[in-house]
A and B are shown apart, each in its own frame.
Chain A
Amino acid sequence: MNTNYLEPQGRGALRDWICSTDHKRIGVLYLSVMLTMFWVAVLIGVLMRLEQMTMGPTLMTPATYNAMFTVHGVIMIFLFVLPGLPAVFGNFMLPLMIGARDVSFPRINLLSWYFFIVGGALAVASLFLGGGAPDTGWTFYVPFSLRTGTNVSLAVFAAFLLGFSSILTGINFITTVHRMRAPGMTWHRMPLFVWALYSTAWIQVIATPVIGITLLLVILERTFGIGVFDPAKGGDPVLYQHLFWIYSHPAVYVMIVPAMGAITEIIPTFARRTIFGYKAIAYSSIAIAALGSLVWAHHMFTSGMSELANTVFSLLTFIVAVPSAIKVFNWTATLYKGSTKLEAPMLYALSFIFLFCIGGLTGVMQGALALNVHLHDTYFIVGHFHYTMFGGTGFAFFAALLYWFPKMFGRTYSKKGAVVAWVHMFIGFNILYGSMMLLGLKGMPRRYFDHLPQYHHLHVVATVGSWILVAGLAIYFITLLRALLHGAKAEASPWGGLTLEWTVSSPPPVENFDVIPTVTSSPYAYNPTRTS
């Protein structure tokens, strides 16, 4: 008889946790660190918005503002959104969902977390040591990143380590999906979250090393002056951008594909319908990973590339929207004739679809060359990526946490708290980032410490939106914290989900399954009369 994984294992609390190779504990370890870093970055965002409350300096100098948006981006991207769902829910749920006891390489899994916290610690250290927080933007564009006296090398090295963490997770997940599925679980009987994690893992393995070498070159350039990116020595700064975005564009698919995978788990459960178009969703994840690796230079349309490159990358950018759209159609079709229960996870999941559509469609807009000339480096872009990364991945993360919280921690939370949080978050989010879209269309540049009078009104509106949003975030986290401390015990399957993680106790036993199950059917058999 297995004890549950949260119970003490006899080496003392600290060692039980930070030396554990149990995928469930590693998932929780990631969650704790990521949420901490998330709040640090949220705080920086609040301060940035306060700065934009008035014209001219409000709280900080221009140099500080540059450091603020750089660090906000570095933390949010490398320490929250990129590890994102794979590090928390991938680690926790993947083995359970495929009927395994753990991933293929449990010790490498722990090593991945160690790289994560060391990278995180170095990123935080770069804020305070020597030259001060980097002020280049999270994109570290040359030649400025080669010339500035701030802690670029340290921050970039931190990002390198975080990339390594991501690579190890990717290697683990690919191997696990190939080798550890329970008897009877064919590829077409896997939950769609697993397909999403698998597709993402390929991007993690193939694309991440490219930014690894790029960051290494920045360090070498700053330290030894090798010249490959330095225009003074014949280097081409646009080549830096190519290498940077060859990773950083696929990276956004690392961020969104697992999020879409989680949504794909939540919707059938609460619609009480089998997913519409299982194969379309499964293969669209693969298609997004593949096509998404071919569009990187749409970040560079105004950098001076050839017209041929601009045209080809613009066309590919339009095409890559198709598999994402397929998913949206299929989620919507799943709801048709469903018996929808608007539980908290479903509320967040449905709003994901709305917010992600705005983010995705504005992305396609930006893929049009003529529009791009006007919109590039404006607040429109900032609005776009917050709608996708926050409205998309962020809301999906919060939805997934509400969905799987009872399983992970064995507690139930207040639905009212989650819904009140959502109301604040949804309203605040759209005020904040909707305003940014409008600001961008009117020409407000991004990464500017100050703004002209014609933009002032919308900046104030946006800042007020940020307060409502943050209030919502606070209510969300307080709701879950209270559940952790005082929540009622959760049953094994509070939502009626049919995937394998719901067949074990909440929280799961250490070894996951007493007996490895044999799988004989699809994971979404809610409505046996529909064929899909």
Chain B
Amino acid sequence: MSVHRDDLGARIGMWLFLFTEMLLFGGLFLLYSAYRSLHPLEFHAAGSELNVALGVFNTLVLLTSSYTLALSLTAVEKGQAQLAKRLVAATILLGTVFLIVKGFEWSAEFRHGIYPNGPELLKRAPGEVLFFGLYFTMTGLHGLHILAGMALLSVALLKLAKGTVKRGESIFLENVGLYWHLVDVIWIFLLPLFYLAA
């Protein structure tokens, strides 16, 4: 069975997969919007516990990682393979920074007893418990997607190095880009929902 090449088909397939990611997180956004409408004051109070500076910093990190990745695709399509590789590597680095910052945030929260079924959380009002339940679930699920994205980016970097991704044959990088940018878009929504709720 010959494997035919169909770049537009590959992009359509990727977009369809991205829709599933949108709806996956969409279910969580549905829960967030319901619970926030039911517990506005408690969401406000719980939000003030989060570190806005770190949240904003991570947003800038992720926006910049999308920037470097978008640049890398243009670089490949212009035949600038070396530049492309450096940009993809930069994207992976920025993803790592994001996860490290997230790690710091979570461990600080854990130390304060703020985690599902944690001692501090169980003392709080239901609205705050729900806020943090959603916070850990959504940022956690998002973090897993960042990890998956970094794995895909690493494969893309390898393919760039080997020359299997190159000018005129860059659909793999393009599709990895679509995935990574969507993960960025999800974070764009998570920022105001959690960090700016206060």
Residues of chain A whose beta carbon lies under 8 Å from any beta carbon of chain B: 21-22, 101-102, 104-106, 108, 167, 170-172, 174-175, 178-180, 205-210, 212-214, 216-217, 220, 224-228, 233-236, 239, 242-243, 246, 510-511
Give the complex CA separation of A175 and B34 in angstroms: 34
Let me know if A511 and B1 touch, CB within 8 A.
yes
Minimum CB–CB distance from B93 to chain A (whole Å) comes to 29
Known: A171-B17, A174-B16, A209-B21. A239 touches B133 (CB 8 A): no
Let me know if A179 and B8 touch, CB within 8 A.
yes
User: Which of B1, B38, B39, B127 is within 8 Å of A21, CB to CB?
Assistant: B1
Let me know if A235 and B130 touch, CB within 8 A.
yes
Known: A171-B16, A214-B27. A228 touches B134 (CB 8 A): yes
Task: List 25 A–B pairs whose Cβ atoms lie within 8 Å, in order of A's numbering.
Answer: A102-B1, A167-B20, A170-B16, A171-B20, A175-B13, A178-B12, A205-B16, A206-B23, A209-B20, A209-B27, A210-B24, A213-B24, A213-B25, A216-B141, A217-B137, A225-B116, A226-B137, A227-B133, A228-B35, A228-B133, A228-B134, A228-B137, A234-B126, A235-B130, A510-B1
Minimum CB–CB distance from A230 to chain B (whole Å) comes to 9
Residues of B within 8 A of A179 (CB): 6, 8-9, 12
Known: A220-B137, A225-B117. A206 touches B19 (CB 8 A): yes
Cβ < 8 Å to A, chain B residues 18-44: 19-28, 30-31, 34-35, 38-39
Known: A101-B1, A234-B126. A209 touches B9 (CB 8 A): no
Let me know if B28 and A213 touch, CB within 8 A.
yes
User: Which of B19, B25, B136 is within 8 Å of A226, CB to CB?
Assistant: B136
Main SS of chain B's interface residues? helix
Minimum CB–CB distance from A135 to chain B (whole Å) comes to 24
Residues of B within 8 A of A234 (CB): 39, 125-127, 129-130
CB closest chain-B residue, reference A217 = B137
Residues of chain B whose beta carbon lies under 8 Å from any beta carbon of chain A: 1-3, 6, 8-9, 12-13, 16-17, 19-28, 30-31, 34-35, 38-39, 116-117, 125-127, 129-130, 133-134, 136-137, 141
Residues of A within 8 A of B134 (CB): 226, 228
Residues of A within 8 A of B20 (CB): 167, 171, 205-206, 208-209, 212
Let me know if B13 and A171 touch, CB within 8 A.
yes
Let me know if B27 and A105 touch, CB within 8 A.
no
Main SS of chain A's interface residues? helix
Give the complex CA separation of A428 and B8 in angstroms: 51
CB closest chain-B residue, reference A220 = B137
Let me know if B12 and A210 touch, CB within 8 A.
no
Minimum CB–CB distance from A198 to chain B (whole Å) comes to 12
Residues of B within 8 A of A205 (CB): 16, 19-20
Q: A207-B23, A209-B20, A212-B27 are in contact. List 7 more A-B contacts (CB 8 A).
A: A174-B16, A175-B12, A227-B116, A233-B126, A234-B126, A242-B30, A243-B27
Residues of B within 8 A of A226 (CB): 116, 133-134, 136-137
CB closest chain-B residue, reference A240 = B31
Minimum CB–CB distance from A3 to chain B (whole Å) comes to 13
Residues of A within 8 A of B3 (CB): 106
Residues of A within 8 A of B8 (CB): 179
Give the complex CA separation of A171 and B11 in angstroms: 11
CB closest chain-B residue, reference A108 = B13
Residues of B within 8 A of A236 (CB): 34-35, 38
Let me know if B1 and A175 touch, CB within 8 A.
no
Question: Which 8 pairs, one residue from A and one from B, show the smallest C-beta to C-beta distance?
Answer: A234-B126, A226-B133, A213-B27, A209-B23, A209-B24, A225-B117, A227-B133, A179-B9
Residues of B within 8 A of A106 (CB): 1, 3
Give the complex CA separation of A105 and B125 in angstroms: 50
Residues of B within 8 A of A180 (CB): 9
CB closest chain-A residue, reference B133 = A226
Residues of A within 8 A of B133 (CB): 226-228, 233, 235
Let me know if B26 and A210 touch, CB within 8 A.
yes
Let me know if B27 and A174 touch, CB within 8 A.
no
Give the complex CA separation of A213 and B29 in angstroms: 11
Let me know if B6 and A239 touch, CB within 8 A.
no
User: Which of B23, B26, B129 is within 8 Å of A227, CB to CB?
Assistant: B129
Let me know if A210 and B27 touch, CB within 8 A.
yes
Minimum CB–CB distance from B34 to chain A (whole Å) comes to 6
Give the complex CA separation of A111 and B141 in angstroms: 23
Residues of A within 8 A of B12 (CB): 174-175, 178-179
Let me know if B24 and A22 touch, CB within 8 A.
no
CB closest chain-B residue, reference A232 = B126
Let me know if B13 and A105 touch, CB within 8 A.
yes
Give the complex CA separation of A253 and B117 in angstroms: 39
Known: A224-B117, A227-B130. A22 touches B9 (CB 8 A): no
User: Which of B17, B19, B30, B130 is within 8 Å of A233, CB to CB?
Assistant: B130
CB closest chain-A residue, reference B140 = A220
Most chain A CB atoms below 10 A, which of B13, B35, B130: B13
Give the complex CA separation of A234 and B24 in angstroms: 23
Give the complex CA separation of A242 and B23 in angstroms: 14
